């Protein structure tokens, strides 16, 4: 479909709406399952097939935007205006400056869950009829009134119009430039005012706009139902050496000998890092931090753990649990258990209740029994969005 055509998704994220609560943070930057609503919208559009995505943000929202999208590869955001239609026009002008497009799909960030099916329906309809919107039938009895119920309205031809709305780029660009009305709640109205006929395709209940607090609760539930669990295992060994500091689980432990290794040789944090990478299916610690790379010489292993945590977050995941076992005759882990637990919880940005620290010996058998080194194993349980798993 749409072979060779340039299709741009224009995501409007410029609103300042805080009706849904969120402590004054506009709803498109609020977090849903650990990821900003805007990031969900961008990721869903990308998975649905959007290769070019432009985002319009409100003045002063640069920092919120940067935090929301992280290192996703996106062109710089377009600055919007005080009204939605001005934001869209600015976005269309930016696309035009970048060489224009064949088709533009204009989408509200507050409807994050765009499916592949929906995207294809809209694009196919635009190829056929130049302008198309997704919409749902009005199912509930619809009536006039405010405090007192008025007469019911015939709902047989009423539609609840959604986004993304698809247009031939030049048509909607010209329509926006020619618009002389006031604020418009969507772009199809602006297209209609310019004399265009807009096709209707079947919408998607999952595209309901996030407006009120209960909408966020519903979206969280929708997301939670789509999360799958992944478990990863990590194992590591380092040998004792004289003249080294002993780092275990991110804590400096007074001991006559420390562990030898390329980094700070924190065997506990290495096992935790590998467990998290394992849950993501993202290789191992050596893939991400090659021992041949001099920049990791003596590096604090907290950086490895933080990197793994960031990878989980980037995939919209949640760390449910980490269980770490340290295997050695000495030092005794018990006196340091709470500090290690607190440190790992802080590095992973989770409550301590999700971290378990255990210790055992090997009954004086083997290399740990002879005091030649320390072994560690860890299990991490991570929940990921189905599409990211």
Which residues lie near Mg ion (CB under 5 A)? 236, 270
Cα-based distances in Å from 243 to 101, 143, 257, 383? 64, 80, 6, 41
Q: Which contiguous run of DSSP H or E holds residue 251?
A: strand 251-253
Report the Cα–Cα distance between both ends of the chain, in Å, rounded: 27
Q: In whole angstroms, what is the distance from residue 155 CA to residue 149 CA?
A: 16
Distance CA 345, CA 330 (A): 24
Residue (84 or 270) nearer to Mg ion, CB: 270
DSSP 8-class letter at 77: P
Phi, psi of 186 (to 5 degrees): -150, 175
Q: How many helices (H) and strands (E) does the chain have?
A: 12, 19
Cα-trace Rg, the chain: 27
Residue nearest to Mg ion (CB): 270
Q: How long, in residues, is the chain?
A: 389
Please identify, using beta-carbon distances, which residue of 156 and 292 lies nearer to Mg ion: 292
* b/e map 335-362, b = 16+ CB within 10 Å: ebbebbbbbbbebbebeeebbbbebeee
Comparing CB distances to Mg ion, the nearer of 134 and 258 is 258
Half-sphere exposure of 332 (CA within 13 A, CB side): 2
Cα separation, 101 vs 128, whole angstroms: 17
State which residue, 89 or 285, has the beta carbon closest to Mg ion: 285
Query: Which value, to the nearest 10 degrees, does the dihedral of the CA atoms of residues 287, 289, 295, 300 take?
Result: -170
CB 334 within 8 A of CB 369: no
Contact 10, 91 (CB under 8 A): yes
Sign of the dihedral through C-alpha 9, 15, 17, 23: positive
Q: Among residues 77 and 373, whose Cβ is nearest to Mg ion?
A: 373
Alpha helices in 30-115 (DSSP H): 37-48, 62-69, 84-97
């Amino acid at each position: 479909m749409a072979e060779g055509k340039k299709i741009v998704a224009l995501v409007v994220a410029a609103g300042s709406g805080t009706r849904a609560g969120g402590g004054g943070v506009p709803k498109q930057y609020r977090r849903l399952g650990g990821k900003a609503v805007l990031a969900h919208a961008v990721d869903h559009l990308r998975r649905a097939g959007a290769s070019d995505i432009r985002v319009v943000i409100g003045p002063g929202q640069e920092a919120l935007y940067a935090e929301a999208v992280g290192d996703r590869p996106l062109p710089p955001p377009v600055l919007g205006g005080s009204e939605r239609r001005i934001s869209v026009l600015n976005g269309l002008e930016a696309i035009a400056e970048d060489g224009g497009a064949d088709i533009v799909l204009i989408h509200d960030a507050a409807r994050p869950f765009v499916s592949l099916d929906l995207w294809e329906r809209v694009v196919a309809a635009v190829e056929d009829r130049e302008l198309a919107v997704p919409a749902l039938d009005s199912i509930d009895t619809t009536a006039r009134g405010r405090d007192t119920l008025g007469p019911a309205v015939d709902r047989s031809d009423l539609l609840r119009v959604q986004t993304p709305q698809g247009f031939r780029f030049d048509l909607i660009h010209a329509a926006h430039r020619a618009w002389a009305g006031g604020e418009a709640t969507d772009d199809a109205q602006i297209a209609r005012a310019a004399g265009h006929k807009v096709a209707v395709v079947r919408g998607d209940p999952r595209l309901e706009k996030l407006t009120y607090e209960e909408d966020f609760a519903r979206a969280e539930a929708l997301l939670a139902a789509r999360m799958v669990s992944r478990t990863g295992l990590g194992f590591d060994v380092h040998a004792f050496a004289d003249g080294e500091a002993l780092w275990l689980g991110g804590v400096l432990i007074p001991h006559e000998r420390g562990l030898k290794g390329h980094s700070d040789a924190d065997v506990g944090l290495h096992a935790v890092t590998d467990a998290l990478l394992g849950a993501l299916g993202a290789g191992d610690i050596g893939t991400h931090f090659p021992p041949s790379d001099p920049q990791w010489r003596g590096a604090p292993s907290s950086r490895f753990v933080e990197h793994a945590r960031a990878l989980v977050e980037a995939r919209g995941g949640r760390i449910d649990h980490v269980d770490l076992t340290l295997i050695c005759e000495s030092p005794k882990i018990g006196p340091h258990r709470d500090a290690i637990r607190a440190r790992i919880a802080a590095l992973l940005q989770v409550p301590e209740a999700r971290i378990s620290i255990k210790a055992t010996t090997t009954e004086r058998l083997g290399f740990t029994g002879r005091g030649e080194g320390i072994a560690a194993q860890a299990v991490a349980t991570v929940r990921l969005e189905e599409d990211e798993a």
